[in-house]
Amino acid sequence: MTKVLILTNKIPYPSKDGSSIAMARTLECILQLPDVEVTYGAINTLKHRKHVDDFPKDLKRQIELKTFEEDTSPNPRTGLINLLLTNKPYNATRFLVHSMQEWLYGFEDNYFDVVIIEGAFMGYYMPIAKVKGKKVVLRTHNLEHIIWERTALNVGDPLRRAYLKIQSNRLRNFEERITQLADSIWSISPVDAFWFKALNSNTHHVPVAVTPAEPLSEVVSFKCFHLGALDWKPNLIGLEWFIAKVWPKVLSARPNVEFHIAGNNTPGHIKSDPSKNIFVHGRVPSAAAFASSHGISVIPLLSGSGIRIKLLENGRMGIPVISTRIGAEGVYDEHNPLIPLSDFPADFAKKLIELLDDTDKALKLGQDVRTDILERFGFERAVDMIKDAWPV
Q: What is the pLDDT of residue 8?
A: 98
Q: Over 80: is that where the pLDDT of 305 sits?
A: no
Edge to edge, the sheet with strand 296-299 lists: 278-282, 258-262, 223-227, 296-299, 321-323
pLDDT digit string, tens, across residues 322-361: 999 999 999 999 888 899 999 999 999 999 999 999 999 9
pLDDT digit string, tens, across residues 201-229: 999 999 999 999 999 999 999 999 999 98
Residue 47 — very low, low, confident or very high, per pLDDT cuts 50/70/90?
confident
The per-residue DSSP string of 255-269 comes to TT-EEEEE-SS--TT
Ranges of each domain in the chain: 2-206, 223-376
The per-residue DSSP string of 335-375 comes to TB--S-B-SSHHHHHHHHHHHHH-HHHHHHHHHHHHHHHHH
Residue 84 — very low, low, confident or very high, per pLDDT cuts 50/70/90?
very high
Q: What is the pLDDT of residue 190?
A: 92
Section 283-311 average pLDDT: 91
pLDDT digit string, tens, across residues 100-152: 999 999 999 999 999 999 999 999 999 999 999 999 999 999 999 998 998 88
Measured from the Cβ of residue 360, the count of other Cβ atoms closer than 10 Å reads: 9
Q: Over 90: is that where the pLDDT of 155 sits?
A: no
Single-letter residue type at 57: K
Section 292-299 average pLDDT: 97
Section 276-293 average pLDDT: 94
Nearest one of 195, 140, 149 to 168, comparing CA atoms = 149
Nearest one of 245, 238, 355 to 299, comparing CA atoms = 238
With a pLDDT cut of 70, the percent of the chain lying above it is: 100
pLDDT digit string, tens, across residues 65-75: 999 999 999 99
CA 389 to chain centre: 21
The helix (run of H) or strand (run of E) holding residue 232 is: none
Q: Domain 223-376 is classified in which CATH homologous superfamily? A: Glycogen Phosphorylase B; (3.40.50.2000)
H helices, E strands: number in the chain: 16, 12
Single-letter residue type at 87: N
Q: What is the DSSP letter of 108?
A: P
Q: Over 80: is that where the pLDDT of 304 sits?
A: no
Q: What is the pLDDT of residue 306?
A: 78
Long-range contacts of 83-92 (CB under 8 A, 24+ apart): 83/163, 83/166, 87/170, 88/170, 88/174, 89/144, 89/167, 89/170, 89/171, 89/174, 90/167, 90/170, 91/121, 91/144, 91/167, 91/171, 92/120, 92/121, 92/122, 92/123, 92/124, 92/171, 92/174
Residues 6+ apart with CB under 8 A from 136: 114, 115, 116, 117, 126, 129, 130, 181, 182, 183, 184
With a pLDDT cut of 90, the percent of the chain lying above it is: 87
CA 137 to chain centre: 18
Q: What is the pLDDT of residue 54?
A: 86
Q: What is the pLDDT of residue 290?
A: 96
Residue 47 to residues 9, 82, 229, 262, 354: CA-CA distances in angstroms? 11, 20, 13, 19, 40
User: Which residues is 261 bridged to in the sheet?
Assistant: 226, 280
Section 286-305 average pLDDT: 92
Q: What is the pLDDT of residue 327?
A: 94
Q: What is the C-alpha end-to-end distance of the chain, expressed in Å? A: 14
Whether 223-376 and 2-206 are alike in CATH topology: the answer is yes
Q: What is the pLDDT of residue 386?
A: 97
Nearest one of 90, 178, 63, 168 to 127, comparing CA atoms = 178
Kindly report the average pLDDT of the chain as a whole number: 95
User: Which CATH code is given to the segment(s) 2-206?
Assistant: 3.40.50.2000
